[in-house]
Structure 1
Amino acid sequence: MVSLTNKTMLALTAVAGGFIAMIAVVVVYGGLFVRSASETCALDEAGLGGFVDIPGGGFILGADPVYAHEGPPRRVFVSPFRLQAHEVTNSQFAGFVAATGYVTEAEITRGSALFEESETPDVFLSWWSLSPSATWRTPDGAGSDIEGRALHPVVHVTLNDARAYAAWAGGRLPTEVEWEYAASLGLFDPADPESGIRARDGAARANIWTGVFPVINTRRDGFAGTAPVGCFEPGLTGAYDMIGNVWEWTTTPFSPGVPRFTIKGGSYLCSEGYCRRYRAAARESLEGDFSTAHIGFRLVQDPARRGGGT
């Protein structure tokens, strides 16, 4: 592995939510990326590729901001569209590659960013490294593969990779406004911005980091890394995993003069005591030609367009 550039380190730091306090004692509960022994989820291979209809309407963009770059809240109107009910999976992306011969940017260039147990856990950035062997085919780096992960969201894909898939599959990537609008409509309790991660009785509704980030993951939600799509109840729109699991690309630039694009939804690396970006209004950014182990995507379609691959 090689060290990340300063620019990329800063971007990844932002994605994870900022620096943590120094932690003297390391306790890793069950490993970082060990999958749960039981992964009984609502979706199977036959159920992939579905879309839900998102009606047009108005909503408050950037409602209840936690970080300055999420606001100010403002009312916007959104045209109707169709939203893929789940994140694009490894099996779907494999079908695209088989049909087109597409090669991802991580496979062509420098690899992709991995988050792994560190020998210096008190240094947050040491948990991230650029692995030349990390790709969508080998999500944990050398020696790994996607055997048994067909229904997990594809990761280590750049914005450009996601756009290429979308063009083939008969869709497009959402804008930030479309994504946030759909996520907001899906909330179980519009008055509670965090109702996407837990029910009133405390039951998990999303795959996030449970425990002390980054050294203790209790796997209270059943997973330590990515989860197969559809393992948690869908939101009120019928869409799964709008919060948690993996961040999702949008086509919206993050801010004027910043050469990065907005990602939404948080991931399995967002914790209650650290990141708090598992809310509809939360946003972060990354360069469009960079990829990581915790960023994926889903598609949208315009209402008149109902065909396309899966």
Structure 2
Amino acid sequence: MSRSFVLSLVLPLLFLFSCQSNPEKADEVKRKQDSMASCEKNLPGRFGATRDTSTFSTNKVDHAGMVYIPAGEFNMGAADQEGGEDEYPQHPVKLNSFWIDVTEVTNADFKRFTGATGYVTTAERKPDWEEMKKQLPAGTPKPPDSVFVAASLVFHQPKSITTLNDASQWWSWVKGADWEHPQGPKSNINGKENYPVVHVSWDDAMAYCKWAGKRLPTEAEWEFAARGGIKNALYPWGNEAVEKGLSKANTWQGNFPLKNTGKDGFYGLVAVKKFKPNGYGLYDMAGNVWEWCSDWYRPDYYQTLSRVTANPQGPTDSYDPMEPTVPKKVVRGGSFMCNASYCKGYRVTSRMKTSTDTGLEHTGFRCVSSN
């Protein structure tokens, strides 16, 4: 049996994003299915290891760089027909007031954290077989030791592809890629202090939040904030399509993943605050990087909510029918890779999911505080 065949059996798809396609044509259902397959099929997996953050000191929360969101009620979930199945039904939610970071946590922010705590991110540590096999079918053979290296997933623009259903054509597992080396060991973040920190797992984000005296937003808090006070808005800026008018977010323009025209002035990750904020003064609630939320992911969660729900915390456990053994958290907001023909993750209601131990070149986070 070849090594590649063994790995094809062993490597779980630990990074899974569900994407929504453009449903404006008659074959809407098929296009949604094709889009989901293209995002999820054959993407390299992460061998994870959790980290106990209980020994970290918790600082007193500082509201500098945060915006106060007054208590309110809104209809959560999609009201139009463009959403994925997990965005329905729309349901009423009531939230207490909270504070939220104006931008995603930046490299400068994260460097202060690691400098103060000595924290080592998931991507910087060798995978742990004991943790990994908990997410695999019983009896799965251990892969070769050469597989267990500190690494992370890096995007690369291919010259050609055979199908959009194989994301491994534009994602590479790069040894030495981490938050300080976003494209691999020869890259760095010099001069990029104001870029969102990336290659951070949910565990890494939680560690930072605890140190800062904050927490990750719930899905409901994130969506309420992203809407910017606009009722049933499709995007943080309103309802105008991202491709029309002035550039509104860092997304992919052109033919994904082969050509990015750079109409918005950028071709990859960019510094925060390059686009106008939404109605609450929050930057980059769409595009640039995906943002971790605190909630576990279940595709049927909204179906369990009928009456007004106060401060929902999400389901009590995780379930993804595509990978039932892999616990996953929700990520929101889309990234620089989102394109209307491939993935409209920049919609305020789009729900994505990924395993807690996964970090990628386009995934970051922002924090909230209850007081």
**Equivalent residue for 1:91?**
108
**Equivalent residue for 1:113?**
153
Q: Give distance in 1, aligned partners of 2:277 and 2:251.
A: 15
3, 8, 15: which is aligned to 2:13? 8
Structure 1: gaps of 5 or more residues:
22-47, 304-310
SS of residue matched to 1:8: coil
CA pair 105-196 structure 1, distance change in 2 beyond 3 A: same
**Equivalent residue for 1:292?**
360
Q: Give distance in 1, aligned partners of 2:20 and 2:64.
A: 28
Residues 15 and 285 in structure 1, CA contact (< 8 A), matched pair in contact too: no
For normalisation by structure 2, the TM-score amounts to 0.68
Shift of 1:199: 5.8
Runs of at least 4 residues off by over 4 Å? 2-6, 12-17, 197-201
151, 156, 160: which is aligned to 2:203? 160
Q: Where do residues 35-184 of structure 1 align in structure 2 (5 Å cutoff)?
A: 50-64=65-79, 66-109=83-126, 110-118=150-158, 120-123=160-163, 124-125=166-167, 126-184=169-227
> Could you say what the CA RMSD is over the residues aligned between the two structures, in angstroms?
2.6
Shift of 1:13: 6.6
**Equivalent residue for 1:243?**
286
SS of residue matched to 2:153: strand
SS of residue matched to 1:7: coil
Q: Which letter maps to 1:264?
A: R
Q: Give distance in 2, aligned partners of 1:142 and 1:224.
A: 21
SS of residue matched to 1:82: strand
Q: Give distance in 2, aligned partners of 1:164 and 1:122.
A: 40
For normalisation by structure 1, the TM-score amounts to 0.81
1:257 lines up with 2:319 in the alignment: yes
Q: Give distance in 2, aligned partners of 1:265 and 1:51.
A: 18
**Equivalent residue for 2:342?**
274
245, 261, 269: which is aligned to 1:202? 245
Structure 2: gaps of 5 or more residues:
22-34, 40-62, 127-149, 299-317, 321-326
Deviations 1:198-255 (A, max 9, x none): 8686101111111111111011111111110111111100110011110000010111
Q: Give distance in 2, aligned partners of 1:268 and 1:181.
A: 22
CA pair 75-196 structure 1, distance change in 2 beyond 3 A: same
**Equivalent residue for 2:50?**
none
Residues 87 and 349 in structure 2, CA contact (< 8 A), matched pair in contact too: yes
Shift of 1:274: 1.4
Q: Between the two proteins, what is the percent identity of the paired residues? A: 38
Tell me which moved more, 290-299 or 197-206: 197-206
Q: Give distance in 2, aligned partners of 1:92 and 1:82.
A: 17
SS of residue matched to 2:228: helix
Residues 228 and 237 in structure 2, CA contact (< 8 A), matched pair in contact too: no
Shift of 1:63: 2.4
Q: Give distance in 1, aligned partners of 2:15 and 2:209.
A: 28
Q: Give distance in 1, aligned partners of 2:179 and 2:337.
A: 18
CA pair 191-77 structure 1, distance change in 2 beyond 3 A: closer
Q: Give distance in 2, aligned partners of 1:58 and 1:233.
A: 25
Deviations 1:70-114 (A, max 9, x none): 111111111110000000001110111111111001000242111
